A and B are shown apart, each in its own frame.
Chain A
Amino acid sequence: MAKTKSRLAEIFARHERELIPEWMNHQLAAMTLRRDLVNEDELKQQSRRFVETFRAGLESTDGSVDVTTPAWAEARELLGELSRSRARQGFSPAETATFVFSLKQPLFDRLRVELGRDPEALTSELWQSTVLLDKLGLYTVEVYQTGREEVIARQQQEMLELSTPVVALWEGILALPMIGTLDSARTQVVMETLLQKIVETGAGIAIIDITGVPTVDTLVAQHLLKTVAAARLMGAECIISGIRPQIAQTIVHLGVELGSVVTKATLADAFAVALARTNRTVAKVAGAG
C-alpha cells in the first residue's frame, strides 16, 4: 500500500508544474466560476497553494485516505480559509466545491498517461485520488455550511436584540413595540427585558404594542397573556395596543380569552388610558394657535 501510494505522490510531484495551468484552465472553463467575484491572479495563487499542500499531504501519508489526520492539516486549513472567504463573497456551495473537484480531470489525465499500461495500478491510483479529492471537496462544503450557519445565527441574535426595545414614554409608563412574529424564545426575551425595565424604572403601566406583529394565533396570544400576567405579578398593569381589525377578528374566531386585559386599537389610545390611570391629562396650551 505504501508503495502504490508513493507512486501517486511521485506522479503528482513530477507533474505539479503542468498541473497548475491545466487545472486553472478547467476552473476558468467551469460554468460555476464566478469571474465577478474572484480574479485570475487570486485564483492562481489559491490553486498553487492548494497543489503544494496537496502534494505535501500525499508525501507525508502512508497511503491512507483519511483527511482528518495531521498530515492533511495544512490542506484542510487552506480549504477552510478558502471556503469561508468564498461563503462571505457570495459563492454557492457548488461553486466552492468545484475548486477541489475540478482538479480531478487534469490529475486523472496524468495518471492515465503514466499508468496506462498497468490497468490495475491505474484503477487503484484513480480510486485513491478520487476518494481523497472527494473528501477534501466535501470538507469545503462542510466549512462553507458552518460559515453560513454562523452568519444566520448571528443575524438571528441581532434581530432578537433589535426587535425588543423597551421605551419609557413618560414617568411610570413604558412602551414595548413588538415587531415580527412572536415565538417562545422571543417571548422569553421580551418578558425578561420588560420585567427588568419595570424594576429599573418603577413603572406602573406597560403598553405592549403589537402593530408590528403580523399574525396572532393562540400560541402568540398565550405568550402575550403570560407576559401580561408576569408584569401584573410584579405590580405593573399592561395595556395591549395596536390590534388591527383582522387580528381582532382572528382573536374572536380562535376563541382566545383576553380576560381582564385592557386592549386598545392604537398606541395613542393606550397612552391616553395610561395617562388617565396615573392621574395626568394632556392639555392644549391656552392661547396658542
Chain B
Amino acid sequence: MERIPILKMGDCLLVTIQVDMHDRLATTLQDDLTERIARTNAKGVVIDISALEIVDSFIGRMLANIAAMSRVLDARTVVVGMQPAVAITLVELGLSLPGVSTALNVEKGMALIGRALGKAQGTNGGPET
C-alpha cells in the first residue's frame, strides 16, 4: 500500500507530501506519524506540503488534527511550504489552522523548531534523544 515516508532528523520528524493526498493516505499518515512520534520520542514534526496543490476540507482538518495529536505527544508541528492557492482555499473553507505553526520552507521550519526546542531545553534541560 502507498505510504508517505517519515524521515527522522535529530529531534525532528520530516514528512514530505509529494503525491496527491487522498483520504486513505491521510488517515494512514496520521497513524504512522503518531506511532513514530511515540516510538522515537521526537520533539518536532515538519510537514512539507509544497508539492500539494489541491486540498479539501478533509485534508485541511487532517493537518489540524496531526498538529493537535503531536502536541498531545509533546511534539511541535510546523507546516511548511504551503502554496498560495492552497492557503486561500483553506481560509475560504474556514480552516485557518489556529494551533498550527507555519513557515515558508523546510529550512525555516527546522530553524523554528530548533529555536523552540533550544528554549525548552534551556529551561528544563530535557534529555537528548
Contacts and interface: CB of A to CB of B under 8 A. Distances in A.
Interface in A110-137: none
A235 B108 contact: yes
A195 B83 CA distance: 8
A232 B102 contact: yes
A199 B91 contact: no
A236 interface: yes
B96 A233 contact: yes
B102 to A, nearest CB: 4
Interface residues of B, number: 20
Contacts, number: 56
A179 interface: no
B84 interface: yes
B105 A195 contact: no
A195 B85 CA distance: 9
Given A226-B92, A235-B108, 9 more contacts: A192-B84, A195-B88, A196-B84, A229-B96, A231-B87, A232-B102, A234-B83, A235-B103, A236-B104
15 contacts: A191-B88, A192-B84, A192-B88, A195-B87, A196-B84, A198-B104, A203-B104, A226-B91, A230-B84, A230-B87, A233-B82, A233-B87, A235-B82, A235-B108, A235-B109
Shortest 4 CB-CB distances between A and B: which pairs? Answer: A195-B84, A229-B96, A235-B103, A235-B102
